[in-house]
Chain A
Amino acid sequence: MSWVLALPIMIPFVTAVLAFLLRRSRMGDLASVGGSAASLVVAVVLIAEVLDQGVIAGQIGGWQAPFGITLVADHLSAAMVLITAIIGLSVAVWSLAEIGPTSARFGYHALFQSLLGGVTGAFLTGDLFNLYVWFEVLLISSFGLLVIGGRKYAIDGAVKYVTLNLIATVLFLAGAGLLYGATGTLNMADLRGAVAASPDQGLMTLIAMMLMVAFGMKAAVFPLFFWLPASYHTPHYAVSAVFAGLLTKVGVYALLRVFTLIFVGDVGYTHEILLWVSLLTMLTGVLGAAAQSDFRKILSFHIISQIGYMVLGLALMTPLAVMGAVFYLLHHIIVKTNLFLIAGVSQRLTGSSDLYAIGGLYRTAPLLAALFIIPAFSLAGFPPLSGFWAKFVIVRASLDLGEWLVAGVALLVGLLTIFSMTKIWAEAFWKAHPEGRQPALADLPRSARWQMMVPIIALAVMTVVIGAFPSAFLEFATKGAEQLLDPAAYVAAVLGEARR
C-alpha cells in the first residue's frame, strides 16, 4: 500500500540523479522524459487505486500515525499527482526544444525533476511538517531553475522570489511550531481532532492566520503576490510554464487541505477573510494584466486573478463551491501551462515577447494561432471549454448563497480576461509585424517543431475533452469536495477506524 504512495515521489528524484549523471550527453534529456513517463504511469495506478478503494494512506518507515510520516491520497491528492505528472511529461518533452547544452550541463533536468518530486510530495503528504520540507525542496529547486539562464535580470527576479518565499516558509515553520506546542501532533488527520478539542481556540485561530498568510503568499493572493510578476517572465519558457502550472497551485492546495481538514473551528472569521482576499485577488490580477504589454507578464498576472476563483470556492465553503475550486484547480493547471508553452513558441518565431514589437504569427503559424485560442478562451470562460464549467460552478455557488456582489465580480473578471486575451491575439497573431519582418517557420528546426507542438496539442485536446464531456470530471470533483468537507474517511484511513 505504501509503495504506490511513495513511488510517485521517489521516481522524480531517481530521475533527477540519472539526468544529472548523464547531463553531458543527450541521454540526460531522454532520462528526464523517460522518468516523467514513468511518473505518469505510477500516477495513473495511484488514481485507479483511489477510485477503487477511496482514501488510501501509508506509513513511511512503518512508523504508525500519528508518530511517523503519513502519505495520504484522496480524490484531490491523486488528481493533483496525476496532473503534475501530465504537466511534467509535457514540459519535459517541450524542454528538449528549448534547453540548450549549457543549461543541461548546469543540471536543468535534475532541478526540473526535483521540482516535480517536491510538488508531488506536497500533494501526498499527510503531515504538516513534512509539507514544510516539501516547500523547502520546491524553493531550492525553483531557485536553481530561475537562475539557470544566468542572465542578470533573472537573478534579480530570483532574489525577490526567494526573499518573499522565505518569509512565507518561516511563518509556516513558526505556525507549525506553535501548533505542535499546543496540540502535540503535526499529523494532519490527528490535528483535526486535536485542534477542535483544544481549550485555547483563540490561539488556534491565530495559528490558522499564520498558515493562511504563508500559504497565501505561496499561492500569490492579494496582497502577497508581488514576487510572482517580478520573477515569472525572466527564466526559460519551460521553467515559467511549469511554475505557472504547478507552483502557486501547491499554495492553493495547502489552503484547501488545511482550511477544510484542520481549521474549521471559526469558519465565520477565517473564511470571511478568504472571501475578501479572493475578490481582491481576482480584481488586482486582471487589472494588472490589462496594464501589461509583455506576453508572459500578461499571463503571469492572469495566474493571480485565476487563483482568486479557486480561493473563492474555498471561502464559500458549500459543497458546490468547493467542488468548483477543485475543478478549477485541475482545469487551470492544464490551460495555464499550455499558454506559457505557446508564448515560448511565439517568442522563438518572432524573437521577442513584447507584444508591440511582434506580429504576423497568424499568417506564419495558423495552427499555433488556433491552439492559442483554445486555452485563451478557456481561461476566459467561453463555453464549451473547460474554463466555462469551472466559472459556471463558482458563480452558481455564489448565487445560491445570495452573494450577488461575489458573482458580479467573478463575471466581470471573466470579461476583463477576454480583454487581455484578445489583446494578445490582436497584437501577436493578427496584426502584421511592425517592422514588416514576417516570422518564418523555417527558423525552427523540424525536430524542435515536433517537440514543441506535440505537448501543446496534447494539452489543448485535454482542455477540449474536459469542456466537451464535463460530467465525468464534475462528478470526480464532487466526490473530491465531499471528501474535503467531510474528512471522516480521510481521518479513518490515516488513524485507523478505532480513533475516528
Chain B
Amino acid sequence: MNSLILSVGARFLTALFLLFSLFVLLRGHNSPGGGFIGGLIGAAGFVLYSFAAGVDAARRAVRVDPRAIGVWGMALAIIAGLASALASLDPFTGLWLILADLALSTVLVFDIGVYLAVFGAILTLVFALEETL
C-alpha cells in the first residue's frame, strides 16, 4: 500500500500497539485484559506494519520466526499449568512466590505463554496469507 501517512504513521503505531499490548497483558490479572487480548493487540501492531512496509520488512522487524514464538508460548503455558503437579494441586492452580513487595506467580507465566502463543499464531497466519494472496 503506497500511502505516505500510513508508512510514516505505522512505525509509531506499531510501537504504541506493542506497549499497549504489554499494559493489557499485565493488568489482566485482576481487571479485563490478559494474555489472549494482549497477544492479539501486539500482533495487530505488526500486521499494520506489514500493510505499510510489506511482509518481508515486517518479518525482519519481528526478528524471530512467528511460528517459533507461538510454540514456545504454548510450551510456557503448559509448563505453568503442569507446575502445580509438583505441589500436588489441581492442574493450573496458581503457585505464588512473594519477594518482599514483588508477587510472582505461575499465573503470570501462563498469561505470558498465552500472549506469545496468540501473537505467534496470528502473525504466522497473516504473514502466510499476505504472501500467498
Which residue of chain A has the shortest Cβ distance to B89 in the bound complex?
A62
Interface of A is mostly: helix
Check if B9 is an interface residue, CB within 8 A of chain A. no
Which residues on the A side are within 8 Å of B75 (C-beta)?
Answer: 17
Which residues on the B side are within 8 Å of A306 (C-beta)?
Answer: none
Find B71's partner among A2, A21, A58, A152 (CB 8 Å cutoff). Answer: A21
- What separation, in Å, do the CA atoms of A61 and B75 have in the docked complex? 18
Which residues on the A side are within 8 Å of B81 (C-beta)?
Answer: 6, 10
Measured CB to CB, the closest approach of chain B to A414, in angstroms, equals 40
Which residues on the B side are within 8 Å of A62 (C-beta)?
Answer: 89-90, 93
Chain B: interface residue count, which band?
Answer: 20 to 34
Find B85's partner among A3, A20, A143, A155 (CB 8 Å cutoff). Answer: A3
Measured CB to CB, the closest approach of chain A to B104, in angstroms, equals 17
- What separation, in Å, do the CA atoms of A21 and B78 have in the docked complex? 15
Which positions 48-64 of chain A face chain B at CB distance < 8 Å? 58-62
- What separation, in Å, do the CA atoms of A6 and B77 have in the docked complex? 14
Which residue of chain A has the shortest Cβ distance to B122 in the bound complex?
A140
Measured CB to CB, the closest approach of chain B to A321, in angstroms, equals 36
Q: Are B92 and A60 in contact (CB under 8 A)?
A: yes
Check if A245 is an interface residue, CB within 8 A of chain B. no
Which residues on the B side are within 8 Å of A143 (C-beta)?
Answer: 125
Q: Are B132 and A14 in contact (CB under 8 A)?
A: no
Q: Are B133 and A155 in contact (CB under 8 A)?
A: yes
Which residue of chain B has the shortest Cβ distance to A141 in the bound complex?
B121
Check if A144 is an interface residue, CB within 8 A of chain B. yes
- What separation, in Å, do the CA atoms of A256 and B13 have in the docked complex? 46
Q: Are A16 and B74 in contact (CB under 8 A)?
A: yes
Which residues on the B side are within 8 Å of A110 (C-beta)?
Answer: 71
- Asked whether A147 and B128 contact (CB < 8 A) given A61-B92, A61-B94, the answer is yes
Chain A: interface residue count, which band?
Answer: 20 to 34
- What separation, in Å, do the CA atoms of A155 and B129 have in the docked complex? 8
- What separation, in Å, do the CA atoms of A59 and B91 have in the docked complex? 8
Measured CB to CB, the closest approach of chain A to B86, in angstroms, equals 12
Check if A94 is an interface residue, CB within 8 A of chain B. no
Which residue of chain B has the shortest Cβ distance to A69 in the bound complex?
B92
Which residues on the A side are within 8 Å of B94 (C-beta)?
Answer: 61
Chain A 167-207: CB-based contact to B (< 8 A → 1; otherwise 0): 00000000000000000000000000000000000000000
Q: Are B132 and A6 in contact (CB under 8 A)?
A: no
- Asked whether A107 and B133 contact (CB < 8 A) given A17-B75, A59-B90, A140-B125, the answer is no
Check if B19 is an interface residue, CB within 8 A of chain A. no
Which positions 17-60 of chain B face chain A at CB distance < 8 Å? none
Chain A 1-42: CB-based contact to B (< 8 A → 1; otherwise 0): 011001000100110110011000000000000000000000
Q: Are B91 and A6 in contact (CB under 8 A)?
A: yes
Check if B6 is an interface residue, CB within 8 A of chain A. no
Check if A408 is an interface residue, CB within 8 A of chain B. no
- What separation, in Å, do the CA atoms of A227 and B103 have in the docked complex? 48
Q: Are A16 and B91 in contact (CB under 8 A)?
A: no
- What separation, in Å, do the CA atoms of A455 and B9 have in the docked complex? 55
Could you name 8 residue pairs across A and B whose Cβ atoms are closer than 8 Å?
A: A13-B78, A17-B71, A58-B90, A60-B90, A61-B94, A62-B89, A140-B121, A155-B129
